[in-house]
Amino acid sequence: MRMNTLSLLSQLSVPSEAKIALVVMDGLGGLPHPETQQTELETARTANLDYLAREGICGLAEPIGPGLTPGSGPGHLALFGYDPLTFTIGRGILEALGVDFPLQPGDVAARGNFCTIDDHHLIVDRRAGRISTEECTRLCQQLSDIAMPGIQALVAPVEEHRFLLVLRGDHLNPDLSDSDPQQLGLPAKEVTPLSTGAIKTAALANEWVARAKAILASSYPANMVLLRGFSELPHFPSLSELYKLNPAAIATYPMYRGLAKLLGMKVVDGGHSIEDEFAALAKYYGQHDFIFLHIKQTDSAGEDGDFWRKVRVIEEVDAALSRLLELHPDVIIVTGDHSTPAVLKAHSWHPVPFLLYSQFCRPDEVTGFSERACTRGSLGTFPALELMPLALAHARRLTKFGA
């Protein structure tokens, strides 16, 4: 969506009692099973989703554009109306959101890798043989002891060889180059300032790397660190500023809670299971007019290449949807942030099944919820950025443009 479309929506949106529920099944879109020729969603028995699709309008949402495979960050930003090509979140910040790290304004975060260097300081393995997460945690504790002059250097383990570095202090600036040359046979690069305001921060980052290298000297294969994606918390307009909503988010994974917080949503306790999440939805429903509920398990099953587990997760969500239907929100939207077909074991570029249910839908001819059915939906294949104007319109929360 163009920046001026967002400003237009902020002008046209009005407060209202009408409620919108957005259920995002991460990685929802799939591809046919080679034996049955049916996708995960086509295979699953989904009485509630089929009902919503039949009574509402359907289509296929494109998070970024044709052929482009989104990460989870950009995929979600698009759903909430933030063009992922304009609203970018640094890799360091995404890493921090992913481990629920309590970031403060002004923090500079970087994504770190433990790596292996040889006697000539040349990189021979960028991932240090993928050390265990336990080993990563132990090394991070050692690195946490590095005392830096005038600032704090906070280190948190992520997974295997990956960790998070957060520099905290006054006047830090994330405008820094990566130290990771992304190639073997070269030494780690100096972190260089990309603008004059970042000279001090670059020096601090390099000093931290030097001291980390000294500490790790005897920790082969994890005897060096590489840093990339220096970034700070971006300031995005909130859903409340843009759309006059009082939004809540329910998610079991930290990254999605962090992202929701970044967009000004109130993150409420969603428990640990799909059932927990829908129970939380019912509990907090009265206090909010926009509720985002995130289901991670569809994506995890897809990433694992487990077609049948993804089918079962979809069926579990479908059953849980009964709790949402009983609340009679004015608008219900069910979609994903991208496709994760089990046959690909990865995120993909395929557009994502989308349904919108409200009493003001003009009916189309879709009678069930699936990739194939959505192809015939009245929304066609459309940019995911259009979700929010469609949601607000069907909730009658947008006034007329011009006289």
User: x/- string (CB under 8 A) for its own copies, residues 295-334?
Assistant: ----------------------------------------
- Which class for 396: exposed (0-12), middle (13-18), buried (19 or more C-beta within 10 A)? middle
| Distance from C-alpha of 83 to C-alpha of 92, rounded to nearest angstrom | 20
Smallest CA-to-CA distance from 246 within 7, 8, 19 is with 19
Q: Given candidates 64, 110, 242, 334, which one binds its own copies under the rule CB under 8 A?
A: 64
| Distance from C-alpha of 126 to C-alpha of 114, rounded to nearest angstrom | 7
CB of 273 to its own copies, least distance (A): 26
AA letter at 354: F
* Residue 99 sits in the site that holds its own copies (CB under 8 A): no
* Residue 381 sits in the site that holds its own copies (CB under 8 A): yes
Q: Given candidates 15, 65, 185, 234, which one binds its own copies under the rule CB under 8 A?
A: 65
CB of 378 to its own copies, least distance (A): 5
Buried b (16+ CB within 10 A) or exposed e, 366-386: bebbbbebbeebebeebebbb
| Distance from C-alpha of 1 to C-alpha of 65, rounded to nearest angstrom | 11
* Residue 69 sits in the site that holds its own copies (CB under 8 A): yes
Q: Given candidates 189, 241, 344, 368, which one binds its own copies under the rule CB under 8 A?
A: 344
Q: Given candidates 107, 277, 330, 371, which one binds its own copies under the rule CB under 8 A?
A: 371
- Which class for 2: exposed (0-12), middle (13-18), buried (19 or more C-beta within 10 A)? exposed
Q: Given candidates 43, 113, 348, 358, which one binds its own copies under the rule CB under 8 A?
A: 348
126 touches 180 (CB < 8 A): yes
* Residue 35 sits in the site that holds its own copies (CB under 8 A): no
* Residue 279 sits in the site that holds its own copies (CB under 8 A): no
Contact residues for its own copies, defined by CB under 8 A? 4-5, 8, 12, 29, 31-32, 37, 39, 60, 64-74, 84-85, 88-89, 91, 94, 344, 347-350, 360, 362-365, 371-372, 375-376, 378-382, 386, 388-394, 398-403
